[in-house]
Amino acid sequence: MTTDTSPSTTSMPESTAPESTAPESTAPESTAPESTAPEAPDAAAAPAVHQPSFADLGVRAEIVEALAEVGITHPFPIQAMTLPVAMQRHDIIGQAKTGTGKTLGFGIPVLEHVVGPGEPGFDDLPAPGKPQALVVVPTRELCVQVANDLATAGKRRSVRVVQVYGGRAYEPQVEALARGAEVVVGTPGRMIDLMNSRHLDLSRATTVVLDEADEMLDLGFLPDVERLLAATPAERHTMLFSATMPGPVVAMARRYMSQPTHIRAADPDDDGMTLKAIKQVVYRCHALDKVEVLARLLQARGRGLTIVFTRTKRTAARVADELVERGFAAGALHGDLGQGAREQAMRAFRHGKIDVLVATDVAARGVHVDDIELVVHVDPPTEHKAYLHRSGRTARAGKEGVVATLVLPAEERDVKQMMRKAGITAELERVTAASPTVLELIGTRAEHVEPSAAPIPVAAGATSGGGGGGG
């Protein structure tokens, strides 16, 4: 669609509202409502007295009631800014990071403009049961989360939300689409597969959401995304959300959107915005000491949830195994795990059965958890944007966090350069596990816990297939 390249802009402060979590979906069929509230606000973020409610913004009663059942009655800032524009079906570019509450910002307008079986107008549709709305996401984990949030908000209606992604059996997804779907949430690779086999018809999808477009660019999905957009009607409502706006994403927006309104939930010029509440430490240590230093950091009493980043799948598995042997409740998340094992690890992390997740970069892109207090780069990234993205997983929802980077002597020069580009001024310190600076950081040590279980997941599952957001 030819577009106007001069979008209007609405600026706003960053919201601290967390994204929701979603448990494993055992089938790609219509998503059942989840008991966990989507985008549940932090206690410190109670709505102001004069803040409009969802009802005040014109959201239909069934959605208002469904959200109220899970304790959500007032929109977060990005939702309050997005809904009046999106409900009028104006195209939107939302520059928002994970943790701002954007899922309901686009999810409510999606639900508002689809019609389910038995609802007025359904039988008058040109093709009842064909997808009326499409939500494209970069990872399987985000697909599950978004689909469950939409199902929760729409549980008082007959709207069918179907999730499709790689790593799950193909036929059940085909069967779910054949039964009918008003909203399809999925990853680009699996959607393309289903479209090529004529099981996914997007010719009636007049509402399209692209969530985390910059992540889809990083994963090489933009060509697939453009193919999906080209398969939808020219006259459609398009909403694009992205934490950053790299050139290819801007070009795609200009090509496929019509006079979009630009809504910012964070300062786009401040990539390190979330790092202001983070304590940064950089430790130089010998390769043989890395796990020992990591284990010492994890001994801090009251440490909270922790993500440990590694460069390779093999390192992630090895570090998780070594931590479990030392008595930590740790699990691995990497691309060699089958989808069931990945979801098992994520579910255990969200529910507190493990409190240390050892992950590779790509696999961790589906992690949407707001209570992470410690991030450790066992293998420092080479790109400063990757460092900011990794580190930004802590200090969400107005909380503080700690980021520790472990550096080998041979990496010192490159890491210093990367940190300068990231705007980080932390001094590099040479340490061992017994160094005073490490002991000072962890403060009171927790009591030693004897190992009681194998890592979660215990072993790598079958390598996933079918496309759609691996890692």
**CB of 263 within 8 A of CB of 92?**
yes
Beta bridge partners of 163: 185
* Correct CATH for 273-442 of 2.60.120.10, 3.40.50.620, 3.40.50.300, 3.30.70.20: 3.40.50.300
Domain ranges of the chain: 8-264, 273-442
pLDDT of residue 266: 52
Token digits for 347? 């579910």
Residue 358: which of 337, 340, 387 has the closest Cα?
Answer: 337
| Model pTM score | 0.62
The residue to which tokens 């440490």 are assigned: 303
What tokens were used for 385?
Answer: 């944007």
Pairing relation of β-strands 261-264 and 278-284? unpaired
* Nearest alpha-carbon partner for 14 in 84, 97, 73: 97
Which segments of the chain have a pLDDT < 50? 1-30, 32-36, 39-49, 267-273, 444-471
Q: Which of 258, 134, 270 is nearest to 205 (CA)?
A: 134
Two domains, one topology: 8-264 and 273-442: yes
Taking residue 466's Cβ as centre, other Cβ atoms within 10 Å add up to 19
Residue among 169, 245, 186, 257 nearest 213 (CA): 245
What is the pLDDT, as a whole number, of residue 38?
59
**Structure confidence at residue 363 (pLDDT):** 65
- DSSP letter assigned to residue 448: P
Burial label for 178, CB within 10 Å (0-12, 13-18, 19+), is exposed
* Number of CB atoms found within 10 A of residue 175's CB: 14
Pick the CATH number of 8-264 from 3.40.50.2000, 3.40.50.620, 3.40.50.300, 3.40.50.12780: 3.40.50.300
Give the total residue count for the chain: 471
Contact (Cβ atoms closer than 8 angstroms) between residue 148 and residue 34? yes
CA 162 to CA 322: how far, in whole Å? Answer: 39
pLDDT in tens, 134-165: 999 998 888 998 999 999 999 999 999 999 99
In 91-231, at which residue ranges do the beta strands (DSSP E only) sit? 92-95, 133-136, 161-164, 183-186, 207-210
Return phi, psi of residue 273, to 5°: -55, -45
pLDDT at res. 35: 42
Q: Return the pLDDT at 7.
A: 43
Q: How many CB atoms lie within 10 A of CB 174?
A: 15
**Half-sphere CA count of 92, side-chain side, radius 13 A:** 33
